[in-house]
Homo-oligomer: A and B are copies of this chain.
Amino acid sequence: MLPKFIYLFDLVGTAAFAASGAVAGVRKKMDLYGITFLGVVTAVGGGTLRDIVVGRIPPFIFRDYNYLIISILISLMTFYFHRLIERRFKFLLIMDALGLGIFTVIGTSIGMEYNIGMIGSVFLGVMTGTFGGMIRDVLQQEVPLVLQREIYASACIVGGFFYILAHKMGLSETFSVTLAVIVVFSIRLISIFKNWNLPKPKV
């Protein structure tokens, strides 16, 4: 069981992901439905696929409507006030990094709960954190950003292992979760700040 305070941060992360999806839709000149859909799928797509993969049916979006409602509202807001939102670029990045940490921990913890092993659980964390953004990029006809540059999925991988290790060492759930979220959040933000990237192949 994840501690309750996670829930609030999870909704904040959902909102940040929805904004990133809706902003992408605005840039591609989609219409009101397209922008809303892109916001929603970016925010809840990763978690929905995760639930399908482990058999958590129906997926979380149908068990707690707050995720869908927040995604829709934020997407509609982005539709009307996208300039205001795009100007808060740094704030969005910080919220997105927070969401990435939360999504990773939730996914990893669900993997442990469903006994799919350590590698599988970390993979489920990566899925929760990154698959929504991948769908967003595919739908707007771009090679997914997460496959090309910046430190994004790799932050999830490190954070996922931290969570599992802390968990296995018998540390409290609150401590394990907080630690792992901070790890993902810090790696992501420091890598943006320092302009870190993963290596590219030598051609």
Contacts and interface: CB of A to CB of B under 8 A. Distances in A.
A95 to B, nearest CB: 21
A75 to B, nearest CB: 11
A199 B143 contact: no
A131 to B, nearest CB: 11
- Sort chain A's interface into a size bin: 35 or more
A147 B68 contact: no
A120 B55 contact: no
A119 B32 contact: no
Interface in A15-46: 25-26, 28-35, 37-38
A61 interface: yes
Interface string A185-203: 0000000000001111101
B123 A153 contact: no
Contacts of A171: none
A2 interface: no
A26 B201 contact: yes
A-B residue pairs, 7 tightest by C-beta? A34-B147, A55-B57, A31-B198, A62-B116, A62-B120, A32-B198, A26-B201
A71 B157 CA distance: 17
A200 B29 contact: yes
Interface stretch (A97-105, A133-141, A162-170, A172-180): A133-141
A199 B139 contact: no
